[in-house]
Amino acid sequence: MIANVKLDLPTEAAFIPIVRRQVDVLLRHMGVSDDDIYRAGMVVTEACSNVVQHAYSEPGQRYQVELEYYPERLVVTVTDFGRGFDVCSVPEPSPGQIGGYGIYFIRESADKVEFGNPGDIGTKVVAEICLHYRSDEALDFARELDQAG
């Protein structure tokens, strides 16, 4: 693993772009393709937005985001301890619908995604994005960092 970033955040929408920016800066610095940076940003944004909008009924709660960066993949884990939900009960969005696209976008943007519960309550989303690089040199550098770590 090259980097492991763990964030403990308040359920305030203002923190979502900060998390997305962390992902963007890390992957862009390492030479990851723009498409993969976009997909990773979409996953983080939608997973965090779902927590902020749906996980808790009372303000002042917190959630965790973990980014595990390996040369060939980024694993994004977003965990809350709110009311939880059954992902199978969430309908596919309809064309023209306003809102309700979060899980759809996560599934479409990630190469692999799992929805679960971290315990008796809450939701845990684990999404994996396979990474491609803008150059062979960037990939070689990522592999060197992984070996050194």
pTM of the model: 0.94
Segment 2-18, tens digit of pLDDT: 999 999 999 999 999 99
Phi first, then psi, for residue 75 (nearest 5°) are: -105, 120
Segment 67-109, tens digit of pLDDT: 999 999 999 999 999 988 888 788 788 888 888 888 999 999 9
Split at pLDDT 50, 70, 90, the class of 120 is confident
Segment 28-61, tens digit of pLDDT: 999 999 999 999 999 999 999 999 999 999 989 9
Q: In Å, what is the CA distance from 68 to each residue of 62, 85, 88, 126, 139? A: 20, 25, 26, 11, 16
Instruction: State whether the Cα torsion 90-91-96-102 is positive or negative.
Output: positive
The CATH number linked to 37 is: 3.30.565.10
What is the total count of domains within the chain? 1
Domain that holds residue 15: 3-148
